[in-house]
Structures are given as C-alpha cells and as structure tokens.
Amino acid sequence: MRVELFEDERDDLPDSVFPNNWFSTHSGGHIALYPMCTPNRRGERRYDIIEHLKATYRVQTVTDYSGLELDDVFLEGTGAMVLDHESRIAYVARSRRADPIALERFCTNFGYEPIAFEAVDEYGIPIYHTNVLMCVATDFALVGLRHITDPGRREQVVERLSARREVVELNARQVREFAGNAIELTGASGRILVISERGRAALTDDQVRVIERSARIVAVPVPTVELAGGSVRCMIAGVHLDRRPRA
C-alpha cells in the first residue's frame, strides 16, 4: 500500500487532515466515497484528488455513498471500518458514524464480511471510530480488546484475527495514547508501521518486539493533530491501486 501527499489550505475545514474518512481505494481499481456525519466535514470531499488518482492509477469504478447523507445514514470510511484485506473482514465499532445500512452496502459491493461490536472507553463513552482502538497489519494486529463490551464478540474478534497474525492487546492507556491508531505501509525497503511518537512511547518492549519481527516502526510527532482526537492513521488514506504505465 502506497500513499499520495495532498495539501488543503481551506480554513473552514479543520478536519480535512483526515482524508481516510471520506474515501478509500481498493485492489482491482476501485474507489469508495463515504457519507460523513458532521455537515462541515462533507466539504472535505475533493474530486480533484479522485481525478488525480484516475490519471495516475488504474481505476475501474468509483462507488459514491455520499448521497446517503440525505437520509442521515453515515459510514466514515476507514475510520469507521478497520479492513482486514487478507481475510476480507470489516471490523466496526457501532456508532452513528457507522450505520449498519451503509456498512452492509459497502461489504456487499466490495466483498467484505462485517463484524460489528459495541465498544466503549474506560469511562463508558462509545468509541467514535474503530481505528482508534484497532490496527490490522500483515503479521500482527494491535487491538484494545477490553473496549469491546461483549465477551463473545471479543472472543470472535481474537479468533478471526489470530487465524493469520499475532494479536497484540492494548490497554486503555495505550488506546488513549493512540497506540492503536497506526497503519502498516510498504516502504522502499519493506514494511513499516507508521505511528505517532505518543503512541510509540506507550508501547511496551514486548509489544515493540512483536511489531519489529514484521515491520520497521516509524514514529512521527503529531501533537497538534492529536488534540483533535485523531492521529497518524486518520491522516493516511492508503493507495491499493495499480499505477498506470508511464508514457
């Protein structure tokens, strides 16, 4: 998975640094656009970015779910869903930002199995985005398991994740420090896990050893962004598309 860098200098869109909420890309040449819960975030959708992706990569379809906003139905992309691309599972913490109708449509269109669950923080407040507590990489997964309220559902999540990778459980403090809001990318010399400095500092030595068996950790400082309730994962919309041949 690759990333593209874009800038957005519009002062009226303070959350536009979180593009993964409004679009995602998928192997085979597919793009999805998502319905956003907060009205001021709907202006973050930038069709110039979609046109750039079409010009640079092989894009077959663009599936636009944004019209669901008219019915107060929302699904905020890979913030609301954590996608296991290998097992084709969409893990989702239930919330107003992850409507079951939109989730079912996405999973039917893109070939994912939905696994939804209730999740709350240590104060009993519902988790607003699934990617706050969960990161699924190739050989490991970082998960705040105790935030999943139903023990049976928690066991199911562990069972499905552990079929392909090692599960690293995060405690409440580590989730609060954004240790789960990380993403695995493909670098020039192999896999890397991009995480904030704050999240990296919260990991234990044993957890770091598990990660580093599979990926090099790249920790970046994003303290201002984290004041808004998101971290590194929220800032990255991965590119799963094949590049067009250069002329």
Instruction: Spell out the domains of the chain, with CATH numbers in brackets.
Output: 19-235 (3.75.10.10)
Average pLDDT over residues 106-119: 98
Q: Is-contact 110 24, C-beta < 8 A?
A: no
Burial class (CB in 10 A: 0-12, 13-18, 19+), 234: buried
Q: Write out the two tokens for 209.
A: 């050893």
- Tokens at residue 166, please? 């090692």
- Give per-residue pLDDT as tens, 150-201: 999 999 999 999 999 999 999 999 999 999 999 999 988 899 999 999 999 9
Judged against a pLDDT cut of 80, whether residue 5 lies above it is answered with: no
What are the C-alpha distances in Å from 156 to residues 4, 27, 150, 151, 172?
34, 26, 10, 9, 20
DSSP string for 3-40: --------TT-TTTT-GGGTEEEETTTEEEE---SSGG
- Summarize pLDDT for 11-70 with one digit per residue, the tens: 554 556 789 999 999 999 999 999 999 998 899 999 999 999 999 999 999 999 999 999
| Burial of residue 84, with CB atoms counted within 10 A of its CB: 0-12 exposed, 13-18 middle, 19 or more buried | buried
Query: CA 114 to CA 104: how far, in whole Å?
Result: 7
